[in-house]
Amino acid sequence: MRPADRPGVRFDDRVTGRLAAFAPHAKVIHVDIDPAEVGKNRAPDVPIVGDVKRVLAKLNKRVEDSGPPSGEIAAAREAWRSRIRAWSEEHPFSREVSETDIKPQHLMTEIDRISGGQAIVASDVGQHQMWAAQLLRFNRPRLWLTSGGLGSMGFGVPSAMGAQLAFPDKLVFAVVGDGGFQMSLPELSTLGGCNLPVKVVVMNNGHLGMVRQWQTLFCNNRLSAVQLECFPDAEKLAAAYGFKGRTVANPRELRSALEAAVAEPGPYLLNVMVTPFECVYPMVPAGNAIDEMVLGPPEPVAVEAAAQ
């Protein structure tokens, strides 16, 4: 683990889930620059107050000096890796393809095919963020730019622009949702004005998808303020800023549309209409422990059984 490659996180319910069930047998080292945060939720076995960059550098040096694991420790780690591989085979991520509609998984698979694990991908916040993390390969560090659990809608396009400025010869995607994208529309002026060849791919499901998913699964499908009834014409919007754009809704046209976007020497706005009610799994419901995650959609209940 290198400090520059691993961002920090808050030690809160986003990390722990139900606190009483969080890693009950683990030894916890809590590093935080604010002493008030240490032990606030979970009592650490080793509390360390300090700058995480300096602390991790020292911890890494200690690990390197101790040498590779051996004996019982090495065997335990290999057993754990084998268990994880078995789970991955038992519950693989879906790469579903439809003949009539574009599935979000299909979109991510096509981006992954074009990227080959070499492109820089900046995501916004929502379902597309989860599918991108699951289905896109990143063959080296610093290719995946995301705000993580901070939930910074509008993050995707400007962070992709920064990456493109830093690496002008790299292929850079901004993979965004139709909600978060509209929170960063003014950045298209900078994108066009600087002629940055960022490929902005909007996964457009007509909703604030992650909020809609929670309302569907946990609020008896009582939807409130999640449907986005208006979205700009991608071709006209991009043209207004001096570059090209397109909307694609046919799964047979998706591959060629992405290839055309990548082949364009300047920026490109590709609006991809995907199925509106797809849910992303696994997920951990609020208040649950990490081992109580939902692996897939609930089983349908027969009308007769429900009536009884």
pTM for the model stands at 0.86
3-state secondary structure of 174: strand
Report the alpha-carbon distance of residue 300 to residue 279 in Å, rounded: 15
Every domain of the chain and the residues it spans? 3-90, 104-273
Please check whether the two domains, 3-90 and 104-273, share a CATH topology: yes
18 contact partners, CB below 8 Å, separation of at least 6 = 287, 288, 289, 292
Look at the chain and count its residues. Answer: 308
3-state secondary structure of 278: coil
**Cα dihedral 190, 144, 114, 211 in deg (nearest 10):** -80
Q: How many CB atoms lie within 10 A of CB 284?
A: 15
Distances (CA, A) of 279 to 16, 103, 165, 295: 23, 11, 34, 11
Question: 130-144, 260-274, 289-303: which has the minimum mean pLDDT?
Answer: 289-303
Tens of pLDDT, residues 192-251: 999 999 999 999 999 999 999 999 999 999 999 999 989 999 999 999 999 999 999 999
Report the alpha-carbon distance of residue 36 to residue 206 in Å, rounded: 42
The CATH number of the structural domain formed by 3-90 is: 3.40.50.1220
Q: Which residues pair with 14 in a beta bridge?
A: none
Tens of pLDDT, residues 48-99: 999 999 999 999 999 999 988 899 999 999 999 999 999 889 988 888 899 9
Distances (CA, A) of 282 to 54, 95, 241, 304: 34, 14, 39, 29
The CATH number of the structural domain formed by 104-273 is: 3.40.50.970
Quick check: 136 and 143 in contact, CB under 8 A? Answer: no
Q: How many CB atoms lie within 10 A of CB 84?
A: 10
